[in-house]
Amino acid sequence: MSELLPFEDQARRCLPLQAWPEPDHLAWQAALAPGDLLDGTVGRGHHWCPDTREKYRKGYGRWLTFVIGSGRFDPAEAPAERITSDAIADYLEELQAQVAPWTVWGRLAELLAVARAIAPERDWQWLRRIVGKLETRVVATKNKHVRLRPAAEILAWSIGYMDDLTADPPARHGPSRFRDALMVALLIACPTMRLRNLTRIEIGSNLVATSAGYELRFAAPEMKARKPVEVPVPDCLVPYLQNYLDVVRPQLLQGGDSDRLWITQYGEPMREKAVYTSIAGATRRAFSRPINPHLFRDCAVTSVAVEDPKHIGIAPPILGHTDPRTTEQHYIQAQQIDAGRKLQASLRALRRKHKPRQVRPTARKDRL
């Protein structure tokens, strides 16, 4: 079955859908089938949005690469029967030797989702426990607290940096640096957006001019919570957004044409990876540590919880949370951060209070 892997680095690639073995292809199609909800024929994965389907397709494709490459493939075996504890143990070992812990957890979580969709009658609790343990480990190792910054500080840096770039444009990378700072500002001011929303903003469709300035509008299918969102661009950012639209963006386009808001230095619409890298790079230069796009949501809600805890109730609609427990986790995290700050302040005060007085040595007189 090695002919199914038309890649140079076969061991690390996700098998494309058209190269899947027939049983797996049929199982995938059945999982996505619209069917009939009343008679129970609707597929378990029919509700997945296009982005989720693509993510799970890649995850299962990576599993198939392992199955075929390790010689485990049996055309007479049902796809779900290949997912055994022994096979998962070997799959984990291979992944851990190739990718970061966060990616290892993601691949197993994707495989679990597909397994539950193609064989819902089977008991997948054992695999779910493995995925849960992996998630606990990677969350514990990714200390995001040290990378969180107050939302007001992030916004202030963005505005100040754009002012500096406008007053004294650098010889190189000026337009792209202005663009990156504006992306940071919009994301911290409108944290309802996720990376894909920010990346895919189109002028006139998602970014709409109003009598009061600009609004960001996203239809329900574009949002993770499947609810439409309309967010006004803060007044303080309107002049910078206008400058980007009138001056900076045309410089980046270099005579080209596109409806996308964010343009690369080569005149092409930015992709998610480029937006992610640009934001991480800008925040690393500003705060010595990168703040990835998803952490902006943590920064926003944690700032509310620390600075204005009485209004923590505004966090769910701002962030698009449908489960209040998600917001509660941020609130607990903010309390821990605030408690840590108070403890450190108390320790500093106690040290100052009980600092031993330095006694100056007196000159000893020589005895006569």
Query: How confident is the model over 262-311, as pLDDT tens digits?
Result: 999 999 999 999 999 999 999 999 998 899 898 888 787 776 655 555 54
The answer to whether residue 368 is domain-embedded is: no
Statement to judge: residues 193 and 111 lie in one domain: no
The answer to whether residue 99 is domain-embedded is: yes
Distance CA 50, CA 58 (A): 12
Two tokens, residue 62: 């990576």
Q: Which of 282, 302, 319 is the last residue before a domain boundary?
A: 319
| Structural contact between residues 87 and 71, judged by C-beta atoms closer than 8 angstroms | no
Residue type, 352: R
**What's the pLDDT at 106?**
92
| Structural contact between residues 295 and 145, judged by C-beta atoms closer than 8 angstroms | no
- Residue 328's Cβ-count burial label (10 Å; 0-12, 13-18, 19+) is middle
Q: What CATH number is given to the structural domain containing 237?
A: 1.10.443.10
Statement to judge: residues 19 and 64 lie in one domain: yes
Two tokens, residue 353: 């209070």
Is the pLDDT assigned to residue 235 strictly greater than 80? yes
Say how many C-beta atoms besides its own lie within 10 A of residue 367's C-beta: 4
Q: Which of 11, 23, 180, 161 is nearest to 90 (CA)?
A: 11
Statement to judge: residues 160 and 134 lie in one domain: no
The answer to whether residue 196 is domain-embedded is: yes
The pTM is what? 0.59
Q: Which of 90, 115, 141 is the last residue before a domain boundary?
A: 141
3-state secondary structure 49-108: CHHHHHHHHHHHHHHHHHHHHCCCCCCCCCHHHHCCHHHHHHHHHHHHCCCCHHHHHHHH
| Structural contact between residues 150 and 299, judged by C-beta atoms closer than 8 angstroms | yes
Task: Grade residue 138 by pLDDT with cuts at 50, 70 and 90.
Answer: confident
The answer to whether residue 342 is domain-embedded is: no
Distance CA 156, CA 165 (A): 14
- Spell out the long-range contacts of 5-13 with Cβ–Cβ below 8 A and sequence spacing 24 or more: 5/65, 5/68, 5/69, 10/65, 10/69, 11/65, 11/66, 11/69, 11/94, 11/98, 12/65, 12/98, 12/99, 13/61, 13/62, 13/65
Statement to judge: residues 162 and 73 lie in one domain: no
Cβ-Cβ contacts under 8 Å for 97 (sequence gap 6 or more)? none
**What's the pLDDT at 243?**
97
**What's the pLDDT at 223?**
81
The answer to whether residue 190 is domain-embedded is: yes
Query: Which of 200-204, 243-247, 273-277, 331-335 has the lowest average pLDDT?
Result: 331-335
Statement to judge: residues 135 and 155 lie in one domain: no
**What's the pLDDT at 344?**
47
Cβ-Cβ contacts under 8 Å for 221 (sequence gap 6 or more)? 49
- Residue 292's Cβ-count burial label (10 Å; 0-12, 13-18, 19+) is middle
Statement to judge: residues 99 and 169 lie in one domain: no
Statement to judge: residues 58 and 128 lie in one domain: yes
Statement to judge: residues 27 and 155 lie in one domain: no
Statement to judge: residues 168 and 311 lie in one domain: yes
Statement to judge: residues 135 and 221 lie in one domain: no
The answer to whether residue 333 is domain-embedded is: no
Domain of 108, in residue numbers: 2-141
Q: Which of 83, 117, 141 is the last residue before a domain boundary?
A: 141
Total tally of structural domains belonging to the chain: 2
Supply angle C-alpha 13, 19, 20, rounded to 5.
90
Task: Grade residue 353 by pLDDT with cuts at 50, 70 and 90.
Answer: low
Statement to judge: residues 118 and 253 lie in one domain: no
| Structural contact between residues 251 and 175, judged by C-beta atoms closer than 8 angstroms | yes
Query: How confident is the model over 209-221, as pLDDT tens digits?
Result: 999 899 999 998 8
| Structural contact between residues 208 and 230, judged by C-beta atoms closer than 8 angstroms | no
The answer to whether residue 337 is domain-embedded is: no
**What's the pLDDT at 97?**
87
The answer to whether residue 252 is domain-embedded is: yes
Residue type, 10: Q
Statement to judge: residues 74 and 188 lie in one domain: no
Q: Say whether 48 sits in a helix, a strand or coil.
A: coil
**What's the pLDDT at 171?**
84
